[in-house]
Structure 1
């Protein structure tokens, strides 16, 4: 049975330390006059029936950004900024739908068909997790693990994984039936890792 938009909760991952940007809240840095998180929300919202923002700092600011989309704000239940899996767990716990679509706050050009393609692959392969990968002109592949569609029933297993002190996204994915979906547009997954990289984007309007 086809996965519908209403069965998906979109999760914006904005709970990191932003260490490669000098410790700033990455999702609130501006691109073309708007916070990065606003760009991502605008592309994520049409692909999901509900939205959640994982944020460990500035919850009021994120609440204002998410208000036009009806987004709820959640924080990690584990202390010390333990990484994206903690954000995923918060999103899985907050979701009232059978599926969760996650995306990072620093990738303003995420594909408009991300949910549709991941959902098709997850269904076709009877998988638990579908995640994105790209292939460059030389045939080299790059996995983008936090662009993923997950069954929300995985929450308890992820909680146990984190309680055991584990933090690696790929190691947790390896515990489940995971399918990788190839996207051809690498730029759609571009993320700004430094303030200079973000500044370099100002003259670029992204993929068409």
Structure 2
């Protein structure tokens, strides 16, 4: 059966070091007058039954941003900024639902039908993980693995994977039945990896 909205917890991934942005906390950088994290929370909120924020810095600030959305902050249980998989694990452990929908904090234009399309594919393929692939006008495909709908029952396996020192998202996905869902709007998954790219976003109102 296809997961319903109430069965999905949304997870904002804001636990990185932002090294390509000079070490600043990316989710707290402002776009059109609001932190990037708020833009993402606004996109996720209508698609999920609950929300969480994965953050390892400025927890009080993120807690304040998450309060209007009922989104508490969860921190990685592994030290040293181990990457997005650690954030996923923290989210899985904290979620009270069977499914987790993750998105990075610097993707303010993520699709409003992201959860629905990933849930449909997950059910159709009886998969454990559904993630995103975009295809450009030339037919070239790009995988966006941190946009994903996952079964929270995978948490123990992910913990074992991380305890073994593994960190690669795609390598962990390969251990499970994973479906890649094709989206044609690349701009919806555009993320700001530098202050220059953030400035470019500031000049572009983005999709509706």
> How far has the Cα of 1:65 moved from its partner?
0.6
1:32 equivalent in alignment to 2:32: yes
Q: In the alignment, which residue of structure 1 is the partner of 2:14? A: 14
> How far has the Cα of 1:206 moved from its partner?
0.6
Q: In the alignment, which residue of structure 1 is the partner of 2:4? A: 4
Q: In the alignment, which residue of structure 2 is the partner of 1:167? A: 167
Q: After TM superposition, which residue ranges in structure 1, 4 or more long, deviate above 2 angstroms?
A: none
> How far has the Cα of 1:177 moved from its partner?
0.1
Q: In the alignment, which residue of structure 2 is the partner of 1:179? A: 179
Q: In the alignment, which residue of structure 2 is the partner of 1:143? A: 143
> How far has the Cα of 1:2 moved from its partner?
2.5
The 3-state SS of whatever aligns with 2:207 is coil
The 3-state SS of whatever aligns with 1:192 is coil
> How far has the Cα of 1:207 moved from its partner?
1.1
- Tell me the matched-pair count: 208
The 3-state SS of whatever aligns with 2:12 is strand
Question: 1 CA distance for matches of 2:194 and 2:203?
Answer: 16
Question: 2 CA distance for matches of 1:145 and 1:201?
Answer: 22
Q: Is the 8 A contact 2:10 2:102 kept in 1?
A: yes
What is the TM-score of this pair, normalised by structure 1? 0.99
> How far has the Cα of 1:86 moved from its partner?
0.3
Question: 2 CA distance for matches of 1:47 and 1:198?
Answer: 25
1:64 equivalent in alignment to 2:55: no
The 3-state SS of whatever aligns with 1:42 is helix
The 3-state SS of whatever aligns with 1:90 is helix
- Segments of 5+ residues of structure 2 without an aligned counterpart are none
State the Cα RMSD in Å: 0.5
Question: 2 CA distance for matches of 1:2 and 1:81?
Answer: 34
1:96 equivalent in alignment to 2:96: yes
1:73 equivalent in alignment to 2:82: no
Q: CA-to-partner distance for each residue in 1:142-177, whole Å, 9 max, x for gaps?
A: 000000000000000000000000000000000000
Q: Is the 8 A contact 2:2 2:122 kept in 1?
A: no
> How far has the Cα of 1:203 moved from its partner?
1.4
> How far has the Cα of 1:48 moved from its partner?
0.4
What is the TM-score of this pair, normalised by structure 2? 0.99
Q: In the alignment, which residue of structure 1 is the partner of 2:87? A: 87
- Segments of 5+ residues of structure 1 without an aligned counterpart are none
Q: In the alignment, which residue of structure 2 is the partner of 1:110? A: 110
Question: 2 CA distance for matches of 1:139 and 1:199?
Answer: 28
